[in-house]
Chains A and B, each alone.
Chain A
Amino acid sequence: MSNPAKQSESYEDEHVHAVYEQIASHFSSTRYKPWPIIERFLKALPDYSVGLDIGCGNGKYLAVNPKVFIVGSDRSSNLVRIASRHQPHAVAVADILDLPHALHAFDFAISIAVVHHLSTPERRIEAVRSILETLRFEDGRALVYVWALEQEGSRRGWTEDDEQDVMVPWVMKGSKKGRSSAANGECDGKPAEDQTFHRYYHLYHKGELEGDIEAAGGTVVEAGYEKDNWWVIAKRAKAA
């Protein structure tokens, strides 16, 4: 292991970034309903707040509140292309660890189902720090949302005793008519087979996200559990 950071980076390239790039259009077609906590957060913002959606995916949260301005970013250019439809907002292709935004400048940030894709504790804390750094002190707020390890009720059925670092399959069903191969939307007319892609996730246990927020220089304002996910609303702990 000559350079562990570079190694984690290329691991995420293969097991997160490349997968989203390939499943982008299918993934997007299944992601349209905003989750309640996130909708509540966005709708409670003062009118014409300016903020970020870090790891915006297909941009489904850009449409929730038309009276705020959001710059969305995602690692997947295929997803960003889909997200670019949502006027008056803006989007760009960017990495959570190297965001193209001024520090301490934004009223809010959301990062939904993103931080759990980083593959080491250090990188997850770095990702949270990167989110928090964009916020104004001290009124800026970030909503961070990650997959929970404790999800007995879901079809995956994980419990607190399970392994936290997992590969989660994404299945694209083939059809008899022949279907698009999701990456480019082309249809070859031949019967297609199911395709399975695996994405890397770190499943958060209770209290772990709060720990990451504090380690990254943040203060937890509110926290909770919603439908298989842990969430935290946080602010920066110090002015600089």
Chain B
Amino acid sequence: MKVLTLNFLTCARKTCKQNPAAFPLHPKEAELEQIETDINPLFIQNMLPRLDWEAMKTVTNELGLPNLPLETPTAEALVDESSGEPSQTLKDLHSLLMETSVASGKLVCANCGHEYAVKEGIANFLLPSHMV
């Protein structure tokens, strides 16, 4: 599960969803892997404004990844001015958001403390029946 995905996930419990503490989920005992994919500059450029950047920073920080820029990078920052090629910023974002993946571990809700397992790169949000 790539790091980008964490920006679109929250606790599955109805009682948590309305609570700001349920987002983002916090990775725990995460094993990371790097899965190479082709860089897609337009995809990243268009996803950036959709991301909750504070949540993204929290998650990458908790995963021990390199620091993200303090603010959401602008479209201009993604292109190398002289060559028109992807800038280093864009390459770093691609590596961090699209290629770095949680292979296994847990995702923890800070509101209720429930831990969701991640196995073989896939998070499981099925709740035990007493929590539904």
Binding site for B on A (CB under 8 A): 6, 9, 47-48, 50, 67, 69, 71, 73, 75, 77, 80-81, 84, 87-88, 90-95, 97-103, 105
Most chain B CB within 10 A, of A67, A80, A93, A97, is at A93
Binding site for A on B (CB under 8 A): 1-2, 4-5, 8-14, 17-18, 23, 37, 40, 42-43, 46-47, 50, 98, 116, 120-127, 129, 132
Q: What is the CA–CA distance of A102 and B47 in the complex, to the nearest angstrom? A: 17
Are the CB atoms of B5 and A90 closer together than 8 Å?
Answer: yes
Are the CB atoms of B122 and A98 closer together than 8 Å?
Answer: no
Known: A100-B116, A101-B10, A102-B23. 14 other contacts (CB 8 A): A9-B129, A47-B46, A69-B43, A81-B120, A88-B37, A90-B1, A91-B122, A93-B125, A95-B12, A95-B125, A97-B132, A98-B127, A101-B8, A103-B18
Most chain A CB within 10 A, of B40, B122, B127, is at B122
- Known contacts A47-B46, A48-B47, A101-B9; decide if A94 and B122 are in contact (CB<8 Å): no
Of B47, B123, B126, which is within 8 A of A69 by CB?
Answer: B47
Q: Which residues in B have their C-beta under 8 angstroms from that of A71?
A: 5, 8-9
Q: Which residues in B have their C-beta under 8 angstroms from that of A73?
A: 125
Beta-carbon nearest neighbor of A106 in chain B: B8
Q: What is the CA–CA distance of A186 and B115 in the complex, to the nearest angstrom? A: 32
Are the CB atoms of A94 and B46 closer together than 8 Å?
Answer: no
Q: Which residues in A have their C-beta under 8 angstroms from that of B123?
A: 92-93, 100
Q: Which residues in B have their C-beta under 8 angstroms from that of A95?
A: 12, 125-127
Q: Which residues in A have their C-beta under 8 angstroms from that of B120?
A: 81
Closest beta carbon of chain A to B106's beta carbon, Å: 14
- Known contacts A48-B43, A98-B14, A102-B23; decide if A75 and B9 are in contact (CB<8 Å): no
Beta-carbon nearest neighbor of B8 in chain A: A71
- Known contacts A50-B8, A98-B13; decide if A92 and B18 are in contact (CB<8 Å): no
Of B1, B47, B50, which is within 8 A of A92 by CB?
Answer: B1
Q: Which residues in A have their C-beta under 8 angstroms from that of B18?
A: 103
Beta-carbon nearest neighbor of B119 in chain A: A77
Most chain B CB within 10 A, of A69, A93, A99, A100, is at A100
Q: What is the CA–CA distance of A56 and B6 in the complex, to the nearest angstrom? A: 18
Q: Which residues in A have their C-beta under 8 angstroms from that of B98?
A: 88
Of B2, B46, B50, B125, which is within 8 A of A98 by CB?
Answer: B125
Q: What is the CA–CA distance of A47 and B126 in the complex, to the nearest angstrom? A: 31
Give 7 nearest A-B pairs by CB, closest first: A48-B46, A90-B5, A94-B125, A100-B125, A100-B12, A98-B12, A93-B124
Q: What is the CA–CA distance of A129 and B48 in the complex, to the nearest angstrom? A: 29
Beta-carbon nearest neighbor of A73 in chain B: B125
Q: Which residues in A have their C-beta under 8 angstroms from that of B125?
A: 73, 92-95, 98-100
Closest beta carbon of chain B to A10's beta carbon, Å: 8
Q: Which residues in A have their C-beta under 8 angstroms from that of B40?
A: 88
Closest beta carbon of chain A to B12's beta carbon, Å: 4
Q: What is the CA–CA distance of A90 and B123 in the complex, to the nearest angstrom? A: 10
